[in-house]
Amino acid sequence: MARLTIEDLKKIKEKQKSTFSLREGGYRAKITVHMGTCGIAAGAREIMSALLDEIALAKVEDVITTTSGCAGLCAREPMATVEILNRPPVKYGDLTADKMKEIFREHILGGNPVEKYALAVGSETTY
């Protein structure tokens, strides 16, 4: 990576923002598996591999997966956040590989959040 200047910081910010918002990145959905120590201990890796298997099986290419740190509610790990284009993010808790597969089929492919596993919709106050 080349040395960054302040201008570069702003460029990266703009570029990343467009991928963040999914819209311009050409993606339809983004799934974040929360992998802090608590998540990993509760089985987040299994959730991740189940998810990757499902994506490969369904042969979809407009879905991105990513990892992130602890989502805060350690008691309900493993957790994942599903974002569909133009929809508020939905957080799922107490996941298992099977639940993740069901969420993938219902929510990511079908577009309907799986209410029985969902914790909350939206994001937190950051100010």
Partner 1 sequence: MEGKIRANLLMCAGTGCVASGTPKVKAALQEELQKRGLADEIKIVLTGCNGFCAEGPVMLVYPEGIFYQKLTVDEIPKLVEEHFLKGRPYEKLMFREPEKKTAIPTMNEIPFFKHQVLRVLRNKGLIDPENMDEYIARDGYLAAAKALTEMTQADIIKTVKDSGLRGRGGAGFPTGMKWEFASKSVADQKYMLCNGDEGDPGAFMDRSVMEADPHSVIEGMIIGAKAIGASKGVIYVRAEYPLAVKRLQLAIDKCREAGLLGENILDSGFTFDLEIYLGAGAFVCGEETALMRSIEGKRGMPRPRPPFPAHKGLWDKPSVLNNVETLAQIAPVILHGAEWYKTLGTEKSTGTKVFALTGDIKNVGLVEVPMGIPLRTIIYDIGGGMKNKKKKFKSVQMGGPSGGCIPEILIDIPVTYEDVVKTGAIMGSGGMVVMDEDTCMVSTSKFFLEFTADESCGKCTPCRVGTRVMLDMLTDITEGRGKDGDIETLQDLSRDIISTSLCGLGQTAPNPVLSTIRYFRDEYESHIKDNWCKAGICRKLCSFHIFEDLCKGCGACLRGCPQQAIAGEKKQPHRIIQELCIQCRSCYDTCKFGAIKIGPAGCKDIKAMRELLEKVKEVKG
Binding site for partner 1 (CB under 8 A): 1-6, 9-10, 12-13, 15-17, 20, 32, 34, 36-38, 40, 66-76, 79, 81, 86-90, 113, 115, 118-127
Q: In the complex with partner 1, which residue's Cβ is closer, 26 or 88?
A: 88
| Cβ 71 vs Cβ 38: under 8 Å | no
Backbone angles phi, psi at 73, to 5 degrees: -95, 70
Shortest Å, Cβ 126 to partner 1: 4
Q: Measured from the CB atom, is 39 or 50 closer to partner 1?
A: 39
Closer Cβ to partner 1, 56 or 75, answer by number: 75
Q: Which of 96, 95, 117 is nearest to 106 (CA)?
A: 117
Amino acid at the residue 40: I
Neighbouring CB atoms inside 10 A of 1's CB total 4
Nearest approach, Cβ of 84 to partner 1 (angstroms)?
Answer: 11
- Our CB check for partner 1 shows the closer of 59 and 80 to be 80
**Structure tokens of 61?**
């290419």
